[in-house]
Structure 1
Amino acid sequence: MLNISKSKINKVADLNKTKSMQFVQQRLRYITFNKIMTALGILFLIVMFLPWTQNVRGNGSVTTLSPANRPQSVQSAIAGRVEKWFIEEGQEVKKGDTIVFISEVKSDYFDPLLVERTSAQLKSKSFSQTSYTSKVKALEQQIIALKEERKLKLEQAQNKLLQARLQQKSDSIDFQAAKTQLSIAERQFRRTAQLESEGLKAVTDVETKKLKLQESQAKLISQENKLLSSKNKVINAKIEISSIKANYQDKISKAESDKFTALSGQFDTEAQVSKLQNQLSNYEMRSGLRYITAPQDGFINQAIQKGIGETFKAGAEIVSIMPTEIDFAVETYVRPIDLPLIHPGEDVRIIFDGWPAIFFSGWPNLSYGTYGGEVVAVSRTVSKNGKYRVLVKPDPEEQAWPDAIRAGSGAKTLALLKDVSIWYEIWRQINGFPPDYYSPADAKQNQMKAKNSKN
């Protein structure tokens, strides 16, 4: 209390009679109090220079390291109706065990003999495809035979043309010979007639030469007719060759047209066969999908579809299953300001909900009830809660995590960072500064290796 009054209390009342003044005025007690305060001050200074491990806190939950080991829902690939259940909630199942049997709700699949009838259609179409294939081969053989026959016919017609040309040449020679003979007969006739007029030849000689002249004229006309006839034979041989080519080309074109028609039918039948094969495979696969089985070993958590006769759409969830073999991990979330401080391989201390723990964040070696972990992965995108997801696995060199923990239970994590003095940590907390940025030893070595490789 400030001494601002002119009236003195010790002049008004006797303070020595009070117990508090008696206690304070004792010098021995005063000295003891000073010693205690001095010792506490020295202890406080010593504590201020003790090492303190900086850490990044995070809240998360227990999950699994592999996505295949996380709780999953077994879905139905087809729409259906529940007919019979083969499991109970909480029951352990093995991979391939039947969970539920469903029936079809689409009219396209009501036929109980749908697979057998589709198989019969496939066999019929396969026989049709074989028939088309045989027809195509027969037409190809027919085309080959027609081409061979055309070749032989053309050779025969070429020989006839050659014969006609030779005959034409022979007749032309005979025709020229007849002309020469006629010219000789005309000269002999004129010379004989002149000699007969001079009285040197008889009339009979003139008549004989005239007869020979007429015979030569007749022979010339006959040879000219033969020449014209041989020319006609040459023309007829050429016409026959053209006719053979046109006739066989028509036959071959018709056979090829039939072949392409058969090929078109074959390809169309092959397409139908492929379509039926696809349908048959789909029907067989769909019939197997009526039995919904367990995708892996696990426990049935909950039957989402209930009762008998309940219908559902394709992709609807049927049951929820928890795998048996689990590699537990913890997913925790850190603030963006702390993200640069988290690196894969760092040590993390974990407190599981339901397990009592005494934890000293700055002295993890003095903590009790915490479990060790190691950072596996750090998310590269921010989560919906505005923080970054960090995945932590058990530390193999630490105490094993409790067997009774379950996926989804809460967990608190502290990532251990740089060791600093306590006074520095208090100063940092008062000023609201983030922990000191640092890189782990492995990260520094990797950076040095990268720089050396670039150089």
Structure 2
Amino acid sequence: MLNISNNQVSKHIDLTKFKSGQHIFNIEYHKVFKKLLLVFFIIIGIIMLLPWTQSITSTGTVTTVKPGQRPQTLQSQIPGRIEEWFVQEGDYVKEGDTILRISEVKSEYFDNQLTERTGNQITAKSSSVEAYKNKVDALRNQLVALKQERVLKLEQAKNKLIQARLKVQSDSIDLEAAKINADIANTQYIRTIALQEEGLKAVKDVEEKYSKLQETQAKLVSLQNKFLSTKNEVINSQLAISTINATYNDKFSKSESDLYTAQSVGFNAEVEVSKLESSLANYTKRSSLLYITAPLDGYINKALKAGVGETLKEGEQLVNIMPANYELAVEMYVRPIDLPLLHKGEKVRVQFDGWPAIVFSGWPNVSYGTYGAKIIVIENFISANGMYRVLASPDEDDVEWPEAIRVGSGAQSIALLENVPIWYELWRQINSFPPNFYQPAGATDASKDKKG
């Protein structure tokens, strides 16, 4: 019956004639299994026809929408030494609250009255500037007076020159008259000598004419001398005019030189005042930098420099602060091949670390523990990890995100794409084809935003 031997009994005996054989061989053992198998394949076929939403999954972290709302580190703008802490880790601070106080470590800033002394220097230099301005005004007045004086001196000298020229004319006329008188006297003398030789004139007459001739010649010589002297007066007057011009030009040059020197020194004093005012502003600002204050309302996360008396360098990190008011967002990274499938305004689903969720990426309606989000930023340049950065903010039309979520916690996002049958999705996954490229209604991509 077991068909173990080569001599089979069933070839010689009809087992179906026996009651036990009829009971055993007439039973269909696989009938239920076939039915179950048929139902299974029907269910599988129905499932294969069900719609499936294509998706892009990525991991990221919780961040904030605005850069100013993210955790930030406070640095010291100047080197110094920690003197006193006013807060501890976990404290809530308001904008402007003092966090710690530092002291100077550079010797040029040790003077506690440095600001007051610099202010006194500015006052003194400002007085010096005013003094030089007054000196410039005085030199300008002196220059104006010299110009007026030169005009008067030149007028006086020119009048003397005119008088000298008129006198030359007068003397020249007198000289010509004297020459005529001398010629007449000479003629009369010669005529008298001739008449005396003829006996018509006495010797006395000759002597008188000779005496008159001598007088006229003497007067002629005197007038010649006077004429030459008058001509010298003209030359002297002309020389006086030249001398006045040269003298006053020299005075003008000296006065202008003094004026320019005073202006130059005054300008240098103004430059020094400006430098001192800049130094005073820097000292005042530096003294305010000795107190590290909170730039906004927030919580002290961690003190990066501990203890009192510890020195720090310029720009060294001191304390980490988390803003109290912020708008949450999810920072996720997608592959370059998936980037064309994402668009601004497109909705995604987000799962946060620590929040249990049952996720069916293709059936978002039956997923539990995920929250709605909307893409607000798509990075235009690839990140250092070889992926593109995408920011998604909470979807206002969906369930609010949990209040207990902290910035920096992990998150997983699911970007929902086109609806396709399950069999098509399996076929795509087996062949490693990318999801269907599509443009959702009302969504925009980065390239269109750039063109707009």
* TM bin (shorter chain): 0.7 to 0.9
Matches for 1:387-426 after TM superposition, within 5 Å: 387-426=387-426
CA shift, 1:49, in A, is 3.5
Amino acid at match of 2:113: L
Q: 1:430 is matched with which residue? A: 430
Contact map agreement 2:63 2:330 (CA 8 A) in 1: yes
Shift of 1:412: 0.7
Tell me which residue corresponds to 1:101: 101
After TM superposition, give the deviation of residue 449 of structure 1 in Å.
12
Which deviates more from structure 2 when the two are superposed, residues 269-278 or residues 185-194? 185-194
Mean Cα deviation higher: 257-266 or 201-210: 201-210
Secondary structure in 1 aligned to 2:132?
Answer: helix
Cα deviation 1:204-240 (Å, max 9, x = unaligned): 6555554444333223222211211111111111221
Counterpart of 2:28, as a letter, is: Q
Q: How does 1:361-400 map to 2 (within 5 A)?
A: 361-400=361-400
User: How far apart, CA to CA, are the structure 1 residues paired with 2:417 and 2:395?
Assistant: 16
**Partner Cα distance (1:71, 1:450) in 2:** 30
Tell me the TM-score normalized by structure 1: 0.87
**Residues 70-85 of structure 1: pairs in structure 2 closer than 5 A:** 70-85=70-85
Distance 1:76 1:238, change over 3 A: same
Summarize deviations over 1:396-427 as a string: whole Å, max 9, x none: 22222111111110011112222333222222
Which residues of 2 match residues 33-182 of structure 1 at below 5 A? 33-182=33-182
Structure 2 Cα separation of the partners of residues 404 and 8 of structure 1: 80
Q: Distance in 1 between matches of 2:258 and 2:372?
A: 82
CA distance in 2, matches of 1:233, 1:22: 173
Question: Which of 179-188 and 358-367 deviates more?
Answer: 179-188
1:53: how far off?
Answer: 2.1
Structure 1: 5+ residue stretches without partners: none
Q: Which residue of 1 aligns with 2:346?
A: 346
Structure 1 equivalent of residue 277 of structure 2 = 277
Query: Does the 8 Å CA contact 2:344/2:445 hold for their aligned counterparts?
Result: no
Give the conservation status (yes or no) of the 8 Å contact 2:82–2:103: yes
- Please tell me the residue identity of whatever aligns with 1:68: G
What one-letter code is carried by the residue in structure 1 that aligns with 2:279? Q
Report the equivalent of 2:247.
247
Counterpart position of 2:303? 303
1:430, distance to aligned residue in structure 2 (A): 1.0
User: Which ranges in structure 2 are unaligned for 5 or more consecutive residues?
Assistant: none
Q: Quickly say closer, same or farther: Cα 1:256–1:225, change in 2 above 3 A.
A: same
Q: Give the AA of the match of 2:62.
A: V
After TM superposition, give the deviation of residue 247 of structure 1 in Å.
2.0
Instruction: Please give the alpha-carbon distance, in whole angstroms, between the structure 1 residues aligned to 2:450 and 2:310.
Output: 62
- When the two chains are superposed, the root-mean-square deviation of aligned CA atoms in Å is 3.3
State the Cα distance separating 1:202 from its structure 2 match: 6.0
Contact kept? 2:76, 2:314, Cα under 8 Å: yes
Looking at structure 2, the residues matched to 118 and 17 of structure 1 have their Cα atoms a distance apart, in angstroms, of: 127
Q: Secondary structure at the match of 1:385?
A: coil
Question: Is contact 2:378–2:446 with CA below 8 Å preserved after alignment?
Answer: no
Superposition pairs of residues 184-199 of structure 1, within 5 angstroms: 184-191=184-191, 193-194=193-194
Query: Are residues 49 and 6 of structure 1, via their aligned partners in 2, closer, same or farther at CA, if it must alter by over 3 Å?
Result: farther
1:229 partnered with 2:229: yes
The one-letter code matched in structure 1 to 2:160 is K
Question: Displacement, 1:40?
Answer: 3.9
Equivalent position SS for 2:354:
coil
How many Å separate the matches in 1 of 2:229 and 2:25? 169
Determine if contact 2:344/2:446 at 8 Å carries over to the other structure.
Answer: no
CA distance in 1, matches of 2:295, 2:96: 6
Q: Which amino acid aligns with 1:100?
A: L
**TM-score for the superposition, normalised by structure 2:** 0.88
Q: Secondary structure at the residue paired with 1:382?
A: coil
Cα distance per residue 1:182-213 (max 9 Å; x no partner): 34444454455555556666666555554444
SS of aligned partner of 1:386: coil
**Matched residue SS, 1:380:** coil
- Give CA deviations for 1:365-423 in whole Å, capped at 9, x if unaligned: 22221111111112222222111111111122222211111111001111222233322
Q: Percent of aligned positions with the same letter in both sequences?
A: 54
